[in-house]
Copies of this chain bind each other. A is one copy, B any other.
């Protein structure tokens, strides 16, 4: 069911499950709109159900084509619940700003988010797990797997790796300022937007590394002050072999 090319031109067909009801003008269902959000992040919130009770677990993830991957310890409750093919919802979101206006109702947040729906499957073959785990490192840190002590079979066995083909997805983006209402006229508190930015801080070398080592190319995107969403997007585009900007 994968599209012929990962060029972002295909569209996820929305159903009742994924169609955005509130503010549909902010929604996108095309791959490019969905992937722009997914590829800018590394932490997703995975929703699953056990005996009618919803759980939302934050977890690291990555994307290849229409497939999302995440992993955890083989004993994890989340992985046991989703890996049997039960329906899951993977949500990725970024807080981009605080909107302050002249009336309470105008106050809001700017954000980007994706909700992706599918059924997860456990990847069990060790060779496939090895490739995928290296892929996750490579997606974040180009070329780094070649520098690392190779992962052992025992380590791979202890990991539960999950893949989920996205059946449906929607992206929703709000990037606006306060929109005064006619009745707000005459009320004059400061109004505007406080942007929120997530950036890389000063690296903390492990013991024995020394602080002065030159950054290696695999870690270059994580230079102090870099925007995290941009670093992750750049690393993802390189990994997926896409042009360096959308």
**CB–CB B183/A95 < 8 A:** no
Q: Which residues of B have CB within 8 Å of A159?
A: 105
Using C-beta atoms within 8 Å of the partner chain, give the interface range for chain A.
35 or more
CB interface residues, A 6-63, toward B, < 8 Å = 17, 21-22, 42-43, 45-49, 52-58, 60
Chain B residues with Cβ below 8 Å from A150 are: 103
Q: Which residue of B lies closest to A187 (CB)?
A: B149
Number of copies: 2
Of all chain B residues, which has the CB nearest A145?
A: B104
Contact of A56 among B45, B203, B204, B218 (CB under 8 A): B45
Write the nearest CB–CB distance from A207 to chain B, whole angstroms. 8
- Chain B residues within an 8 Å CB radius of A205: 190-192
Give the distance in Å from the alpha carbon of A228 to the alpha carbon of B95 in the complex.
11
Contact present for A192 and B178 (CB under 8 Å): no
Residue-by-residue, is A114-125 near B (CB-CB < 8 Å gives 1, otherwise 0)?
A: 010100000000
Name A45-88 residues within 8 Å CB distance of B. 45-49, 52-58, 60, 72-73, 75-77, 87-88
Known pairs A22-B75, A149-B187. 12 more at Cβ < 8 A?
A17-B53, A49-B49, A53-B87, A55-B115, A58-B93, A101-B206, A103-B155, A104-B151, A190-B215, A191-B209, A195-B200, A197-B200
Residues of chain A whose beta carbon lies under 8 Å from any beta carbon of chain B: 17, 21-22, 42-43, 45-49, 52-58, 60, 72-73, 75-77, 87-91, 93, 95, 97-98, 100-105, 107, 109, 111, 113, 115, 117, 133-134, 137, 140-141, 144-145, 147-152, 155, 159, 177-178, 180-181, 183-184, 186-187, 189-206, 209, 213, 215-216, 218-219, 222, 228
